[in-house]
Amino acid sequence: SAVISQKPSRDICQRGTSLTIQCQVDSQVTMMFWYRQQPGQSLTLIATANQGSEATYESGFVIDKFPISRPNLTFSTLTVSNMSPEDSSIYLCSVEKGSTDTQYFGPGTRLTVL
Amino acid sequence: KQEVTQIPAALSVPEGENLVLNCSFTDSAIYNLQWFRQDPGKGLTSLLLIQSSQREQTSGRLNASLDKSSGRSTLYIAASQPGDSATYLCAPGSGNTGKLIFGQGTTLQVKP
């Protein structure tokens, strides 16, 4: 399995500001993922972050709005830029690990934008 | 484009009942399928993963089946307990990209 931590666990931010979310894994992993869960909705993949390469974004998500860093095999950050109330969501990181490619999720960051 | 549907959206049962949660997906070319549990305000806990070549997986009181050709998976929970109350999410995975496409979930309430 994998133990994943995220910081911050929650935050309340003002419109127009940016927030950087950190994701730390207890072991080295190749693939890390960032998901968004809007209120009352299921999870939507934002991007895949592999160490040493640019993140791959899903349709509807762009690097200018959600820049991602992956400096090593245990850490990644997601920045939510120029926030609006529509960005209020839970943001979760996940990693794929093991011979079965099981995905494990962090506890999430609950973001409220006023 | 993969679309995932989970039925029912919500379910309330008395403690001790056996129950089945259903998941259907439109693209049968999946690599695997995971079932997750999400407690309110929390992250996801992986329950079971079924490889595309497998028919079922079991863990304790949980059994997940996969019929890839018909695009269906079920999660069977035996002898339900109040602690099983949560939202259950089904997520087929596509190939070596690791991408998971999530259904809307089934919110389960088990009453004592």
Lowest mean pLDDT among A11-25, B19-33, B92-106: B92-106
> Which of A5, A25, A29, A42 is the mutation pick for testing B, counting most B CBs within 10 A?
A42
Residue B98 — very low, low, confident or very high, per pLDDT cuts 50/70/90? confident
Which of B42, B91, B98 is nearest residue A96 as measured by Cβ atoms? B98
Is B44 an interface residue toward A (CB < 8 Å)?
A: yes
Q: Residue B110, by phi and psi: left (phi above 0), alpha (psi -120 to 50) or beta?
A: beta
Taking only residues 37 to 96 of chain A, the set having a beta carbon closer than 8 angstroms to any beta carbon of chain B reads: 41-45, 48, 92, 94, 96
Cα separation, A30 vs A23, in Å, equals 14
In this prediction, the residues of chain A whose per-residue pLDDT falls under 50 are none
Of A77, A88, A90, residue with least CA distance to A14 = A88
* Cross-chain Cβ contact B100/A103 below 8 Å: yes
Give chain B positions within 8 Å (CB) of A110: 41
CB contact under 8 A, B105 and A44: no
pLDDT at residue A40, rounded to an integer: 86
pLDDT number for residue A48: 94
Q: Which pLDDT value is given to residue A65?
A: 97
% pLDDT > 90, chain B:
86
Which of A71, A81, A107 is closest to A13 using CA atoms?
A: A81
Per residue in B37-46, pLDDT (tens digit) is 999 888 899 9
Are A96 and B105 within 8 A, CB to CB? Answer: no
**Please, what is the average pLDDT of chain B?**
94
How many Cα atoms are found within 13 Å in the side-chain-facing hemisphere of A102?
17
pLDDT value at residue B89 = 97
**Rounded CA separation A20/A113 (Å):** 14
- Whether omega for the bond prior to residue B14 falls within 30 degrees of 0, making it cis, is no
CB-based contact, B40 to chain A, within 8 Å: no
